[in-house]
Amino acid sequence: MSASRYAVFGHPVAHSLSPRIHSEFGRQTGIALDYTAIDAAPADFAATLERFVAEGGQGANVTLPLKELAYGLSAHLSERARRAGAVNTLARRDGQWLGENTDGAGLVRDLTERHGLDLRGRRVLLLGAGGAARGVAPALLEAGATEMVIVNRSPTRADALSDVLGEPGRVTTRYWEDLGAQGDFELIVNATAAGRRADDLPLTLPSSLVNSMTAAVDLNYGEAAIAFLAWARAAQCRYAIDGLGMLVEQAAESFELWHGVRPQTDLVYRGLRERDALLVSAD
Ligand code: NDP
């Protein structure tokens, strides 16, 4: 029997760890699958996805900058994807795409199960309002955050995210330059892409954001997470966590949607962590 076809689409995508993660899940569960990385510029994404289907593609992950386009190409949407306005997982259902967003569930599972954090009652600062922030914000609220302050380089995008979340008393937006007047937070999530490009300036954050409980979480991992995690340690955050665990957990959610089996994530996570000394975690 030939292996079923899956892929991650992005632009660029060559460095994605998803092919490795899904191959390991497949080996572990005894499911034969062929999972590749496919580079598609936004203008070519729809046609590339159609070709993938014609060649037997049954499911896809979607990463930067294609998540909102994937949302538009989905005939059906899960509640999580609808709320996020972004899709990171596509599953073939009756000849059409079902769009799902597993980022939020992946982050919450990593923080609560792997790192043992209780998110209930936390005051959350969310930095960023792009696709990843849209994915994780509803999940953090569902996990029990009492209050969420969203700050983004482009303030209108932060306002748009706050509107989608629809909880005006609980979710507010602030300007970056006013961060010093917002008090302290038990959870600070960096969902920006600052740090991915060598010429990005580090985020400027006051240490007054930090209290004795603060967990600082970067959705980035590897080199892109170094600056934020260095700030978190210097500011004496109790936890400084990168996005590698979330990456593995959101992949497991996708895998379960496609194959109906939940893979074990710890071995895969530890393998990736050991593989690259740059992937740092200080919790
Ligand atoms: P988007 O392009 O949708 O959004 C990027 C966000 O970063 C926007 O809020 C943008 O602000 C902000 N931003 C970009 N550059 C800077 C900068 N120099 N200074 C301040 N803010 C900046 O990307 P995503 O939301 O999809 O992804 C964000 C990050 O999260 C990526 O680096 C990605 O790798 C990571 N990620 C990790 C996952 C995991 O599993 N660990 C899953 C998903 C994402 P503005 O609106 O002003 O442009």
- Summarised one tens digit per residue, pLDDT across range 125-138 is 999 999 899 999 99
Determine the structural domain holding residue 156 and report its residue range. Answer: 104-244
- Position 278 in a domain: no
Give yes or no: residues 70 and 132 share one domain. Answer: no
What's residue 14's pLDDT? 93
Looking at the fold, whether 93 and 130 belong to one and the same domain comes out as: no
Is the pLDDT reported for residue 60 higher than 50? yes
Does the pTM surpass 0.85? The reply is yes
CA of 192 to the centre of ligand 1 (A): 3
- Say yes or no to pLDDT of 39 above 80: yes
CA 131 – ligand 1 centroid, Å: 7
Residue 213 CA, ligand 1 centroid: distance in Å: 25
Tokens describing residue 195? 């740090």
**In DSSP terms, which residues pair with 36 in a beta bridge?**
7
pLDDT band at 204 (very low <50, low <70, confident <90, very high): confident
Residue 12 tokens read as 């660029």
Q: What is the CATH number of the domain that holds 43?
A: 3.40.50.10860
Residue % of the chain over a pLDDT of 70: 95
Q: Are residues 24 and 125 in the same domain?
A: no
The reply to whether 143 and 227 lie within a common domain is: yes
5 an active-site residue?
no
Say yes or no: 35 and 125 in one domain: no
Which residue type sits at 274? E
**For ligand 1, which residues put their CB under 6 angstroms from it?**
64-65, 67, 103, 106, 128-133, 152-154, 157, 191-194, 196, 200, 219-221, 224, 243, 246-247, 250
* Choice among 22, 67, 80, 134 that is catalytic: 67
Give CA separation, 103 vs 32, 84, 136, 275, in Å: 25, 10, 6, 23
- Token pair 């992949």 is found at 251
Task: Say which residues have a Cβ less than 8 Å from residue 8's Cβ, sequence separation at least 6.
Answer: 16, 18, 19, 35, 36, 37, 38, 60, 61, 62, 63
How many separate domains does the chain show? 2
pLDDT at 106 over 60: yes
The residue whose CA is least distant from atom 11 of ligand 1 is: 153
> Looking at the structure, do residues 87 and 153 belong to the same domain, yes or no?
no
Is residue 226 included in any domain, yes or no?
yes
Domain assignment present for residue 274? The answer is no
**What are 58's two structure tokens?**
């049954």
277 part of a folded domain: no
Q: How much is the average pLDDT of 22-48? A: 97
